[in-house]
Every structure is written in C-alpha cells, then in structure tokens.
Amino acid sequence: MKQLLFNMTTSEKRAALVNHGQLVEVMLERPNAYPKAGNIYVGRVVKVLPGMQAAFVDVGFEQNGFIHATDLVPKSGKENQTISEKIHEGQWIIVQVKKEASKSKGPLLTENITIPGEHLVYLPFGNYTAVSKKLSEDDTERMRKVGDELTAGCEGLIMRTSSSEVSLEQLDQEVSRLRQQWETLSDRAETLKRTSLLFEGNTLIERALVHTSNEEMTYIFDDFDVYRSFKNKYPNFSEKTYLYKGTENLFSHHNIEQAIHKALQPVVWLKNGGYINIDPTEALTVIDVNTGKFTGKQDRDESILETNLHAAEEAARQLRLRNISGMIVIDFIRMNSKDHQEKVIRRLENTFNQDPIRTRIHGFTALGLLELTRQKVKDSLSAQMTEPCAVCNANHRQLSVETIYYALERALFEHRHTEGEGIWVEVSKPLREYLKAPESDLEDDLSSLISAKLYITEKSEVDHPYFHVRQIGSCDVIETRIEKE
C-alpha cells in the first residue's frame, strides 16, 4: 500500500511518499525559496557569452539565471544559429526554470516552455509529440497520432498516461485551454517589460502527484482546508483521501521524522547485515559497499553477490530519497563474474524504474567501480536541510538554522490547544539571531501559532541551531524561573 502524506499546517510544507511503511521520497516547499522548477518569468538578458554559447538572465532574484544556446528558440526558423543571432543584451525574453537555483548557482533557464495540463503538457515551441512510457506499444502509437492531430505549427505535446483514457474531444478542449493560457502569458509579458513571475509551476501537491503512480495510493492531509480543496479538485481520489486529526505532528505519528533524520546520515544498514556508506563530495557522490556483520552461508562469490544485490537496491532507493544527483560512483564488493555484475546492474535498473528522475547507468570500470549519473532538478535533501558546521569544520554538516526554525514551528503547533497560560522555549544563539533578523516578524509568527503566551530565552553556551520547550504552565511560574536563571 502506497501513501502520500501532506504536512501542510505550518510555513514549511512537506510531502512524503511511503511504500509499505518505508519512506521513498520527501518533498519540501519553504516560503521565499529559490525560483522553483516550472516557474515562468519575464527576464532581461544582462550578459551574452559567445565563447560559451550561453547568457545570464535577470529574473528578479539575487542570482542571475543561466541559459544555454540550445535552450533558446531559433529565430526566423533558421537552424544552427549562434547565441548572438538568437538574443542580445538588454533583450526581454520569456523563460522557464529548468533546474532550481542553489546557494552557489542561479537557476538554469530555458525558452522551450512547458505548460502542464491534466492529461497532457503543452509545448508552444516543442515541434514534437512525446508519449508516456507507461503506455502499451499500441496505445503509444495511437496517442502519438492523436497528439500530432491536435497541434499546429511549431507546437508540441507530451501525452500523459491518463490521456489514453479520455476522449479526443476532451483532449482537444484541454489543448485549446493551454494554448489560450500561453497566449495570455505572452500578451502580458509584452506589456510588462520588467522582471516578473508570469506563471507559477506545480504546487507541492501537484509535484507529488506527478512523481507518483495513482494505483493503490491513499492521500492523507493534516490541514482541513487543503484536504477539502484536494477532494474538490480531484474527485476521483475522494474515496482514498483522509484527514488526519491527531495532535501529534503527522510526520512524527507515521515515523517519517525519524526516517528523514536517517536519510541525512552517511551509513545505511542492509537487510542481511551489510551496509553502505554514502559520501557526497563537491565533484561526485561515492557509495561504498561493505559486508558488515554478514559472513554468508554459501560460497564466497555467492555471499558477495547477495550483499551487492541488497546494496544496489538500497543505493537506488537512497539516491531518490536523498535526491542525490550528478556523477555517482558505487564501489561494490569486487565481483569476478561478469554474470554477477549484470545481475547487480539489472537490480539497479529495476529499482530506478520507480524513480521519476532520469538516471543513466554507465557500467563497471576496469577498477570494478560502477558509474552512473542522475539528473539534477533541485538541491539534495542534505543541501536543503543542513549547513556546514561553523565550529567543527566545513566537512561536517549540521541541521541548518532555517530547518530548526521550522521544527520549532511544528513543535509549538502541537501545543496549540494547551490549557497552560504560557510556553517557555529556550533557543541557542544562532536561532535567537535568526528570529531577531532585521525586518523579521518570526517571533510574532511563532506566537500566532498558539493561544498561550510565548516566552523565548537564549541558551548562549550552545553554538549550533537548537531549541528546547522548557515548560508549559502558569505565566507566573515561568517568569519566576526565567528571572532565577
């Protein structure tokens, strides 16, 4: 049984995909985050780099976006145009975020716009029809012909799996609606002539639905308004949609908080007693496979194969859960048999088939290392939730002050119905400074989550982001204790 759980009650919105009690993927959406994939902007070209066939585009954020010549639409129908023939500095263009920004890089942009619909995706300049890989061979050919019939000029379509289950008339109406939406966006961009958000990409809920299969899926929400809106928007899922009414945080109740914490640790134990060690570096991620406690009951080669098969499955699962991308090397226990190597690759492929992010397996090297690459769409889970430790060294990471703040929000929200007059929270210096940032209303935001009076004091000897709910009860008692400390 698969479940999609949505933790939507506080500022940080979170979605978790769970399969038979095991966390498969977690998605985060924070306020004031970087431009997310799918957003469409009016941007201004600030610099063209002919030598790199690329350009920087201002889309209204601190870091300029980056666009390559191959992601620009050819002008006047000419092929093999240089970037200088396609755009010039000072020009206003409509761009879409292809890859989200990180702390060190701006977003990767494209002029090849995609506008998602319910049964298909509209591409104003696509000039092709693509079909979901989940369809049968017969349905694939049929839907490709349907897509070609529905488009005109340089338009393109991506036919979703559900497109094969609706009528041609419904699909035609959807294409017309998306075409009109694009024309409206284009007309608005012409009048703006300033950096501006034209279209917001998929919401957290929509992204979660795209990343999952609807078969045997249940949907659990902890916010009534979001739950009701979801049921109205997706009536077909209504009977499989539930509202969580507990006081404990939804993710804590389903042991997801603990699973997320484990996903930030380097060591993952395997079912047979072996383990893998995941070591992300700036250039690539290395996964080391070890037999650990497993000694095997068969001959040596078969014991090694068993550990490597478990490791292959777990490594693929962890790459999706941790959202690790780029170049990846897996150091399996050395196998002398080509047949055993092929079995390990097949196990990896079978597990990656469930991953919506494209992964390519490049095979074993002469040293017995398996090379693969996974497409980057956004930062890894670690990059989103942690930061380098300022006390130890840059190689060690700790939960970021922002992550701890959102955890504090959730902790206070659990006490929203407390009968106590006041709640006393002790925070470390880094968190206290974060709460008191200029033009910040974070303390007021925290107070608004509860009916009790909120007291916040600093634990100055703690130098990492931290909080502790010291007491819930009488305001007089709390104030007396604070004065004595």
pLDDT, mean of residues 309-335: 96
> 148-187 pLDDT, tens per residue?
999 998 999 999 888 888 899 999 999 999 999 999 999 9
Q: Give the pLDDT band of residue 9 (cuts 50, 70, 90).
A: very high
pLDDT, mean of residues 239-250: 94
| Both structure tokens of 27 | 């998605």
Give the per-residue pLDDT at 147.
92
pLDDT, mean of residues 376-381: 87
> 52-98 pLDDT, tens per residue?
999 999 998 888 999 999 999 987 767 778 899 899 999 999 999 98
Q: State which fold the 40-112 domain adopts.
A: OB fold (Dihydrolipoamide Acetyltransferase, E2P) (2.40.50)
pLDDT, mean of residues 313-337: 95
CA distances from 473 to 177, 373, 449, 469 (A): 56, 54, 17, 11
CA distance 48 to 187: 25
Q: State yes or no: pLDDT of 17 exceeds 90.
A: yes
CATH code at 400-484: 3.40.1260.20
More confident residue, 342 or 134: 342
Q: State yes or no: pLDDT of 391 exceeds 90.
A: no
Q: State yes or no: pLDDT of 348 exceeds 60.
A: yes
Q: Which residues of 11-20 are buried (b: 16+ CB within 10 A; e: fewer)?
A: ebbbbbbbbe
Domain chopping of the chain, boundaries? 2-33+203-256, 40-112, 115-192, 263-374, 400-484
Give the per-residue pLDDT at 295.
65
| Percent of the chain clearing pLDDT 70 (strictly above) | 96
Q: Which residues of 38-75 are buried (b: 16+ CB within 10 A; e: fewer)?
A: bbbbbbbbeebeeeeebbbbbbeeebbbbbbbebbbee
Which of 205, 215, 211, 398 is CA-nearest to residue 323? 211
**Domain 2-33+203-256 homologous superfamily, CATH:** ATPase, nucleotide binding domain (3.30.420.40)
The 3-state DSSP class for residue 177 equals: helix
Q: pTM of the full predicted structure?
A: 0.83
Sign of CA dihedral 133, 135, 138, 141: negative
CB 238 within 8 A of CB 21: no
Give the per-residue pLDDT at 118.
82
Which of 464, 278, 327, 458 is CA-nearest to residue 388? 464
Give the per-residue pLDDT at 427.
96
Q: Give the pLDDT band of residue 377 (cuts 50, 70, 90).
A: confident
| Percent of the chain clearing pLDDT 90 (strictly above) | 68
For 304, other C-beta atoms within 10 Å of its C-beta total 23
Q: Which ranges of 322-441 does DSSP label H, i.e. alpha helix?
A: 338-352, 381-385, 401-413, 429-435
Give the per-residue pLDDT at 192.
82
Q: State yes or no: pLDDT of 33 exceeds 70.
A: no
Give the per-residue pLDDT at 283.
86
> 251-301 pLDDT, tens per residue?
999 999 999 999 999 999 998 888 999 999 888 999 999 987 766 666 788
Which residues lie across from 388 on neighbouring strands? 397
> 191-202 pLDDT, tens per residue?
887 898 998 877
Exposed/middle/buried for residue 232 (C-beta within 10 Å: 0-12, 13-18, 19+): exposed
Give the per-residue pLDDT at 97.
92
DSSP H or E segment with residue 70:
none
Q: Side-chain half-sphere of 3: how many Cα atoms within 13 Å?
A: 18
CA distance 177 to 170: 11
> 425-440 pLDDT, tens per residue?
999 999 999 999 887 8
pLDDT, mean of residues 411-424: 94
Mean pLDDT is lowest, of 346-360, 386-400, 413-427, for: 386-400
pLDDT, mean of residues 369-383: 92
